[in-house]
Amino acid sequence: MAAGQWGNCKGCRYFSSNNPNPSDNETQRCMQADLKAFDLKVSGASGCNAFEARAGTGQKPYQEPAQPAH
Ligand code: SF4
């Protein structure tokens, strides 16, 4: 599996939710091709680096906070 950008399941196209704006606590199956075989149930707050943004949600992938300037 190629390492992509890390993001939360709730904003990922592979999160099997019909909800246009899933919550952190919603649990659904992960339909990502490589992970599907494991029949994973993930929460909206979970995530991984196979993340791909859902179409039309406008949600941005999670980004690590920037280090404060010293
Ligand atoms: S586990 Fe990864 S690929 Fe599956 S829904 Fe969550 S972010 Fe997307």
pLDDT, one tens digit per residue, over 24-63 is: 999 999 999 999 999 999 999 999 999 999 986 555 556 6
Tell me if 38 sits within 8 A of 32, measured CB to CB: no
In the prediction, which pLDDT does 68 show? 74
- Count other C-beta atoms under 10 Å from residue 54's C-beta: 19
In the prediction, which pLDDT does 58 show? 54
CA of 21 to the centre of ligand 1 (A): 15
Q: Which ligand 1 atom lies nearest to the CA of residue 46?
A: 6
Pick from 64, 60, 51, 65: which is nearest to 12 by CA? Answer: 51
CA of 51 to the centre of ligand 1 (A): 5
Which alpha helices (DSSP H) does the chain contain, by range?
none
> Confidence class of residue 66 from pLDDT cuts 50, 70 and 90?
confident
Q: Which of 14-18, 35-39, 63-67 has the lowest mean pLDDT?
A: 63-67
Ligand 1 pocket (Cβ < 6 Å) reads 7, 9, 12, 14-15, 30, 32, 35, 42, 46-48, 50-51
